[in-house]
Chain A
């Protein structure tokens, strides 16, 4: 028990610093992060900076189907609406749907995963449930859900909020399975660790063990699943809107804009090009971020 002067160890790096350093080495992930930030700025700050003049109906009729100009940088649509402004509005909804649906999926998935992994008695039934959910035909089911419940929910919350709540909820509730499986696997391994045993032997309640010792350790895989979940949710929403079963036309999303542009594809292809590019770029960026995060959060890869 002597305090032998140890060789001065190099100052340890903080964990977040190490993760960031690893993340930075992944070129694709860095690119993804920059693109995503730009897109978020575009939809959040954009409408504050770019406010198209309010046109009366007669004026709007004159400026229908215009090409790009200084007045309308992305042209106008068949009703004389400014495409740039519509792109910003649509992007706000698309990204919001992606993030909120992902959060629902992650909360449900993590809860089920932790319960199944920690309480042995719940493992069988919950995992059977997960398997069954995985066997559900998602796209047809979502279409049916939207078709059957859109009007009813619109009656309570108004057409726009109703569609938003319904779609976010429907996507969230049908995409938690991956997260649940990943979390369960991690928890199964973690609950056998010594520190969990130690916590249990000093009489910690399961709730405390889960929140204090297990959840912080499953955060990394959950974050990766969450990133990929955002991409998934954005694509699902745009599929619904593309098939005409998403949001109402005056509450556009990128998928909806693409659907609107489809009729004018031959004359004005750029009108579906922009929303399509926006969706693809967002998803590509998010996927790359997920890829980089997976490497950065894995301590076995990090530091090599």
Chain B
């Protein structure tokens, strides 16, 4: 009976999440548009996340070069470090790590902000004053996160490749032109496509999961804390799981 009730609640939550996400998407095409909120959120999510994304990307590229060069050197293939770093960064680590960073920073922020509004009846007040909270609060966050994660991932990819290059040149004594030549030469359009498709999906996950847990918060300040934790955990797990399926799909389509 308890398992049945647990499953029923999970199915209802998935249904509620799907309906909210669908409404958030369709609201993009319905008036009124809250562009001011889109700009504010873009600044908060995009510019606000830039330092952590830059640092993460740079050091991930660096450590990737360091670790892979050690292994590659055993096979006399140290020269392909640039290819390994750029492919890994652009196809996998850039989108996933940026997604996880933004999730930790912004999914939690959205859940706590909307959760606080929910428990203090500000969401109800908004509805009572004739504003659709999904349009005013969720849709701008969705647009901003998808858009900003796309650009943040590009920044992360670039800095990761640069970080890998810096380590390769200064510590591993690789030739700079060789590193960047290898990093560029082996990249193909499907790799770029995969690397740019992922942040769009991850951005959607971060915004909708963060907003969903915020909008469904119950139980006062304790509930806000619970929602915040759940938003980060669920969005992070979904990002990693979705990454697997997108990679699987892209390999199936493009063969790489």
Do A and B truly interact? no
Q: Footprint of A on B, CB under 8 Å? A: none
- Which A residues have a C-beta under 8 Å from some C-beta of B? none
